[in-house]
Amino acid sequence: MFKLIDKYNDPNTETTSHDYCTEACKQAARFRDVQEFRLVNEGRAPAVIYQVRQKSTGRVYVGQTTQPFTLRWWQHLSNPTSCKFHSALGNTDITDWEFSVIEVIAYPEACTNRAAYITQRESHWIEALSAVEAGFNTIRPAGAVDQTQVTLPLADLA
């Protein structure tokens, strides 16, 4: 069984990096990090749909972002609002939460409204994961319609 301390005690190890076992992996990661930084810096980072899952309950929050997803996670943590998701984040240990990308948006060729398409995909995942009924989302994205809601005319309320 390999333990991290073994790497530091092994005189034959290729690198003293805390994150990589070999120099080749370290160099490949550096190249990848530079490429990702360029995409973000040039505003070409892909839009994603993400979920934040509370490990102890399995409840999820689903969101979308065109920013680097790690920045979006940081925004949830550092700029909380009074919504049920942020309340739960603030009242539990950070280690009880998992942030993951569930879809990297690939726009269809005929897509004429990227913002609407991202919202449509977010709505799909909110429904698929029951993120409003059993999760932390409080509303469906703008444009998404809850088919179980029936609008009553005001005259019927009297």
| Farthest CA pair distance, the chain | 84
Evaluate if residue 14 carries a pLDDT over 90.
no
Mean pLDDT of 68-82: 87
Cα dihedral sign for 50, 130, 97, 78?
positive
Is 25 strand, coil or helix?
A: helix
Residue 63 contacts residue 126 (beta carbons within 8 Å):
no
pLDDT band at residue 103, thresholds of 50, 70 and 90? Answer: very high
- Spatial distance between the Cα atoms of 62 and 66, rounded to a whole number of angstroms: 14
Model confidence, pTM:
0.65
Sheet holding 48-54, edge to edge: 60-65, 48-54, 97-104
Residue 69 contacts residue 99 (beta carbons within 8 Å):
yes
Identify the residue whose tokens are 């409840």: 59
* In the chain, domain spans: 11-41, 48-128
Mean pLDDT of 103-127: 93
Greatest mean pLDDT among 6-10, 38-42, 114-118 lies in 114-118
7 to each of 2, 15, 25, 29, 102, how far by Cα in Å?
8, 9, 15, 19, 33
Evaluate if residue 40 carries a pLDDT over 60.
no
CATH architecture of the domain covering 48-128: 3-Layer(aba) Sandwich (3.40)
The DSSP letter of residue 20 is -
